[in-house]
Amino acid sequence: MAKIVVGMSGGVDSSVAALLLKRAGHEVIGVFMKNWEEKDENGVCTSESDWADVRSVCETIGIPYYAVNFVKEYEERVFSYFLAEYRRGRTPNPDVLCNREIKFKAFLDFAMELGADALATGHFCRLGDAPDGKKQLLRGADGNKDQSYFLYMLGQRALEKAVFPVGGLTKAQVREIARDAGLTTCAKKDSTGVCFIGERRFKPFLEQFLPAQPGEMQTLSGRVVGRHDGLMYYTLGQRRGLGIGGVAGEEGGGRWFVLAKDMARNVLIVEPGGDHPLLYSRSVEGEGATWIAGEPPAHAFDCACKYRYRQPDQQVHVEIQEGGRVLVTARERQRAVTPGQSMVFYDGDVCLGGAVTDRVLDAGQEA
């Protein structure tokens, strides 16, 4: 029997993770992390209702529960990066950094201080053992819910202490287990939005922290077709929310899409048509590469890649560069690869690691 701390979010996945470990005979402790203190635009503090759900679930299961505050760590290690990336005109993915810096660093340290043997979460992923004895991060059994993408920054220390009890289940099975056990979270909808901050109206939320700098929307030829509210509010390939649907393009009508951000001039470059050549590329550079095994498989290798969550696997060639950089060349042209997002590499079900997209090298060029 092991002593296992479970990161309880108030959702059904972590609820069932705790239940399964308890049923397996382990000493289970539920711990709720509070990483954000501000109320949403409706005056609701979602962490309060989540904490109530955690208490209810833990009492039903029959395990002790605690709350721990990592607001300071979250602000310093995750949210500051989130804002810095938007200042650069990029589109960050804070959930990835949150998993490494909060759940599997600050929280893991806390669990070890409690004398735990392991830390469990409700992530849909699995663990494996490589021939050299190192831990592997594997995709979850439910392909529609697999969350290995968000855990690619984890290293061996974290994985050696990690347990993912629901990784071999489907979401439907998780909800059925919760329902049969009478857990109040059995029908609770999946959380979305920014990690630990929750669902927010994006513009009002972001402008609380970053001053908006409105400017012009221009075509590639320099024709002004509208105004933007601030470059930080837009991402490559975006169609909705531009407010220029009735403006004709150079060759007639059509829906408008974001092609680029000119940070120096504070101009949003737009053109009609979602298949514009500038939205497509094959070669990109990534920064901050991390590897589950501690090092890449080779100096250069072929593998599958997801340039964003839920994207089908793309076949790529990866070349390792200096300073934690990688050059990734896709077999087929990719649409709207976005700086700030994560490229995550796979060998079958094994997550190898990944990097943050930094520069798109050949947008608009023929394959």
Mean of the pLDDT values across residues 173-184?
A: 97
Neighbours of 188 (CB within 10 A): 18
pLDDT top residue among 203 and 67? 67
pLDDT of residue 36: 76
Residue 327 has pLDDT above 80, yes or no: yes
Percentage of the chain modeled with pLDDT above 70: 91
pTM value surpassing 0.85? yes
pLDDT top residue among 250 and 122? 122
pLDDT of residue 44: 45
- CA–centroid distance for 359 within its chain: 19
For residue 332, CA distances in Å to 7, 316, 325 come to 39, 8, 21
User: Which of 172-176, 236-240, 285-289 is the least confident region?
Assistant: 236-240
Residue 200 has pLDDT above 80, yes or no: no
Cα–Cα dist 30/48, whole Å: 16
Residue at token pair 């630990």: 196
User: Which of 72-81, 144-153, 174-183, 252-261 is the least confident region?
Assistant: 252-261
Cα–Cα dist 16/20, whole Å: 6
User: Which of 88-97, 124-133, 200-209 is the least confident region?
Assistant: 200-209
Task: Calculate the average pLDDT of the chain.
Answer: 91
Cα–Cα dist 266/248, whole Å: 23
Mean of the pLDDT values across residues 340-349?
A: 97
Among 349, 304, 309, 308, CA closest to 331: 304
In CATH terms, 278-360 corresponds, of 1.10.3720.10, 3.40.50.2300, 2.40.30.10, 3.30.930.10, to 2.40.30.10
Q: Would you state the CATH architecture of domain 3-202?
A: 3-Layer(aba) Sandwich (3.40)
pLDDT of residue 360: 94
User: pLDDT tens digits for 225-276?
Assistant: 999 999 999 999 999 889 886 665 555 457 899 999 999 999 999 999 888 9
Per CATH, 212-274 and 278-360 having the same topology is answered no
For residue 17, CA distances in Å to 5, 212, 302 come to 11, 42, 35
The residues annotated as belonging to the active site are: 98, 195
Residue 137 has pLDDT above 90, yes or no: yes
Cα–Cα dist 4/19, whole Å: 12
For residue 110, CA distances in Å to 157, 234, 268 come to 14, 38, 45
Q: Where are the domains of the chain?
A: 3-202, 212-274, 278-360
DSSP β-ladder status, 300-306 and 342-347:
antiparallel
Residue 16 has pLDDT above 50, yes or no: yes
Neighbours of 326 (CB within 10 A): 25
Cα–Cα dist 137/155, whole Å: 9
pLDDT of residue 197: 56
Residue 357 has pLDDT above 80, yes or no: yes
Residue at token pair 């997550």: 351
User: pLDDT tens digits for 33-91?
Assistant: 988 766 544 444 567 888 999 999 999 999 999 999 999 999 999 999 999 999 999 99
DSSP β-ladder status, 280-291 and 350-360:
antiparallel
Cα–Cα dist 81/19, whole Å: 35
DSSP 102-115: IIIIIHHHHHHHTT
In CATH terms, 212-274 corresponds, of 2.30.30.280, 3.40.50.1460, 3.30.565.10, 2.100.10.30, to 2.30.30.280
Cα–Cα dist 295/357, whole Å: 19
DSSP 269-330: EEEE-TT-GGGEEEEEEEEEEEETTSS-SSSEEEEEEESSTTPPPEEEEEEE-GGG-EEEEE
- The rounded radius of gyration (Å) of the Cα atoms in the chain is 22
Cα–Cα dist 107/7, whole Å: 8
Task: Record the tokens describing residue 207, joined without a space.
Answer: 């402008």
Farthest-apart Cα atoms in the chain, separation: 70
pLDDT of residue 168: 98
For 329, the enclosing helix (H) or strand (E) is strand 326-335
pLDDT of residue 35: 83
DSSP 8-state class, residue 3: E
Q: Are 9 and 189 in contact (CB under 8 A)?
A: no
Residue type, 193: G
Residues 6+ apart with CB under 8 A from 217: 224, 225, 226, 227, 228, 242, 244, 267, 268, 269, 270
Mean of the pLDDT values across residues 139-160?
A: 97
